[in-house]
Amino acid sequence: MFFYTINSFTQINEGALNEAFSNLGDSMSIEAFNFDINKIKKFNFQGDTILLDTTLNINKLYNFNYRRKDNFEFIKPNNVGQVYNNLSYEIEHSNYPSIGFNANKTIIQFEDDIYFYDVAYPVTELLFKTVYSQGQLTDVLFTTNVNRKLNFSLSFKALRSLGKYQNSLSGSKNFNFTYNYNSEKFSSKMFYVSQRLEKHENGGLTTISIDDFESKDDVFDERSKLNVKFEDAINIYFKRNFFSKNSFNLINNNKKLSFNHTLLYSTINNAYDQKTINNYYGELNSGLISAKDNYKFRSIFNKISLNLSNLIFDSIEAGLINFNFEYFNLNNNENKIRESSNLFSLKLTKGFEILDLDIDLQKKINGERVGDKYMFMVRTSKSDKIDMSLKFMSTKSHPGLMYDYYDSSFKNIKWEKSNKLISINSIQFKLNDKRFGEFQISGSKIMNYFYIYTDNQIEESYLPVLNQASFNIDLLKLNYNKNFTFGKFSIDNTLLLQKVKQKEYVLNLPKYVFRNSFYISEKIFNNVLEIQSGFNFKIFSKFFADEYNPVISTFHTQNEKKIGEYPIVDFFLNAKIRQTRLFFIFEHINSSLTGNKFYYTPSMPYRDSGFRFGLNWNLFN
DSSP one-letter string for 320-354 = EEEEEEEEEETTEEEEEEEEEEEEEEEEEEEE-SS
Q: Report pLDDT digits (tens) over 571-581.
A: 999 999 988 99
Q: Report pLDDT digits (tens) over 589-619.
A: 999 888 899 999 999 999 999 999 999 999 8
Distances (CA, A) of 82 to 464, 537, 543: 20, 23, 21
Q: Is the pLDDT of residue 339 over 60?
A: yes
Q: Is the pLDDT of residue 552 over 80?
A: yes
Is the distance from CB of 85 to CB of 74 less than 8 angstroms?
A: yes
Is the distance from CB of 551 to CB of 271 less than 8 angstroms?
A: no
pLDDT score at 543: 97
Alpha helices in 139-260 (DSSP H): 207-214
The string of DSSP letters for 434-451 reads TTTEEEEEEEEEEES-EE
pLDDT score at 15: 53
Confidence tier at 309 by pLDDT (50, 70, 90): confident
pTM: 0.91
CB neighbours (10 Å) of residue 383?
A: 11
Mean pLDDT of the chain: 91
Angle 384-389-394 (CA atoms, 0-180°, nearest 5)? 160
Taking residues 405-431, what's their average pLDDT?
A: 95
First to last CA, the chain: 42
Distances (CA, A) of 164 to 75, 84, 197, 217, 436: 17, 17, 19, 17, 43
DSSP percent split of the chain into helix, strand, coil, nearest 5: 10, 55, 35
Taking residues 51-74, what's their average pLDDT?
A: 92
Is the distance from CB of 177 to CB of 90 less than 8 angstroms?
A: no
Domains of the chain are 2-620 (2.40.170.20)
Angle 37-125-45 (CA atoms, 0-180°, nearest 5)? 75
Shortest CA distance to 569 belongs to which of 598, 528, 600?
A: 598
Full strand arrangement of the beta sheet holding 40-43? 49-51, 40-43, 116-119
